Amino acid sequence: MKVAFVSLGCAKNLVNTEQMMALVRSAGHEITAQPEGADAAVLNTCGFIDSAKSEAIQNILELAELKKEGKLGKLLVTGCLSQRYQDELMEELPEVDGVMGTGSYTEIVPALEELMDRDMGFACGLLAMILVPVMSSMGANPTVAHHWAEGYNLHFAIFLGVLCLGLTVAGFFFSGRPAWAAWAGYRRLLRTTGRAPSDYLRMFGPAPVLINMGVNGLIGMAFILATGGDLNGPTLGGILTIMGFSAFGKHARNITPIMLGVVIGGVFMHFDINQSSVQLALLFGTTLAPISGYFGWPFGIVAGFLHSSVVLHAGTPVEGINLYNNGFSGGLLAIVLYPIISEAIRHHRPGLQDRDYFDDTIEHDEPLVPPPARRK
């Protein structure tokens, strides 16, 4: 992986940038002087004074332009600006793929690798679509074998229930934070969109993440049981996947609309909701949770509804060779839905102009005080 570093601000920022470069180089990656042509660019920002904020925003927009032209892969923003305005950067600057605060410089290597690997399911699907026809033309006969266990609902329900309740209780009472602080952190977590990469452990700490994992696990299990599905190896893997991604972008408010969309698809389309492939779509389809979090729950329901059909056919060309069919289908849908929804609701959620990013997004540190009421 070729990584370019851009350092802004004080001498301390330059030292931190050099430390990150040393870590990236020691991990076997290549450091390049120019962002153009790099797989990823790391912008280390300053955010203490107005001119530094303005310079950082301008550099973000310049690097974003390289991304649009296909000359840069990923954009990771670090430093003081991302520490102070993490949520605002991810919300208002969709060109930014990830942010890291000032205390996370030592995690630069896993953060970069996480960025590059997050579309693994989609990439595997494309590769499998190429490999399977090649294998078939050479005489191979990859046939799909369907193995689906039934009759374990009670056993796994007890296991998952105890696990999820244990995580939730641990988040409230055994994480080193008061229960009210854990609850407040969880409520803040629920207000995020879930756009990758959203490292909730780094953003909110362990207590809200443990609560989120427990709640999401219970939601996944409830959907499976309520729709007459089976708790077995594949569905257990799906529920545990949701719980794992509860530290990385998924929460109750952005996964529930996706699941509801899949259920609606099962009701109105020509397949049963308790069909094994639909049950897996119900769980793994939550890969589209950021659509629900970013655009709103109605679009999440639409995404889930469409995903329930697309995923049933996406696996046909690869004959079971790709285990991430839902990731592949989710990638296809995201490519199509993101520009369509963005264009459709642009007049409702107008994007800021380049010159307005700094003024309207970053500068409102102080609460706006309403004018005093006029007496009649």
For residue 137, how many other CB atoms are within 10 A of its CB? Answer: 8
Same domain for 169 and 85, yes or no, is no
Same domain for 207 and 287, yes or no, is yes
Q: What is the mean pLDDT of the chain?
A: 79
Indicate the Cα dihedral angle 92, 97, 102, 105, nearest 10°. 180
> How confident is the model over 233-258, as a mean pLDDT?
92
List the helix and strand counts (H, then E) for the chain.
Answer: 17, 5
In this structure, of 22-36, 299-313, 343-357, the range with the lowest mean pLDDT score is 343-357
Confidence of residue 362 (pLDDT cuts 50, 70, 90): very low
> For position 74, what pLDDT does the model report?
86
- 192-223 b/e with 16+ CB inside 10 Å = b? bbbbbbbbbebbbbbbbbbbbbbbbbbbbbeb
Residue 218 has pLDDT above 90, yes or no: yes
Residue 321, SS3 per DSSP: coil
Residue 220 has pLDDT above 90, yes or no: yes
> For position 127, what pLDDT does the model report?
60
We report the CATH number of the domain holding residue 88 as 3.40.50.12160
Residue 352 has pLDDT above 50, yes or no: no
pTM value is: 0.62
Confidence of residue 128 (pLDDT cuts 50, 70, 90): low
> For position 353, what pLDDT does the model report?
37
> For position 363, what pLDDT does the model report?
33
Residue 247 has pLDDT above 70, yes or no: yes
Per the structure, how many domains does the chain have? 2
Residue 255 has pLDDT above 70, yes or no: yes
Residue 18 has pLDDT above 80, yes or no: yes
Closest residue by Cα to residue 78 from 217, 376, 63? 63
Same domain for 15 and 130, yes or no, is no
> For position 350, what pLDDT does the model report?
47
Domain presence at residue 373: no
Read off the DSSP letter of residue 2. E
> For position 349, what pLDDT does the model report?
52
Same domain for 64 and 126, yes or no, is no
Confidence of residue 123 (pLDDT cuts 50, 70, 90): low
> For position 108, what pLDDT does the model report?
86
Domain presence at residue 267: yes
Same domain for 152 and 252, yes or no, is yes
> For position 347, what pLDDT does the model report?
55
Domain presence at residue 369: no
Same domain for 301 and 255, yes or no, is yes
Residue 9 has pLDDT above 80, yes or no: no
Residue 314 has pLDDT above 70, yes or no: no
Q: End of a domain among 100, 116, 132?
A: 116
> For position 130, what pLDDT does the model report?
57
Over residues 141-193, the pLDDT tens digits come to: 656 566 778 889 999 999 999 999 999 999 999 888 889 999 999 999 998 88
Same domain for 101 and 149, yes or no, is no
> For position 129, what pLDDT does the model report?
57
Same domain for 179 and 251, yes or no, is yes
Q: End of a domain among 99, 116, 133?
A: 116
Over residues 79-88, the pLDDT tens digits come to: 888 777 776 7
- What is the distance between the terminal CA atoms of the chain, rounded to a whole angstrom? 68
279 is in which domain, residue-wise? 119-344
Residue 35 has pLDDT above 70, yes or no: yes
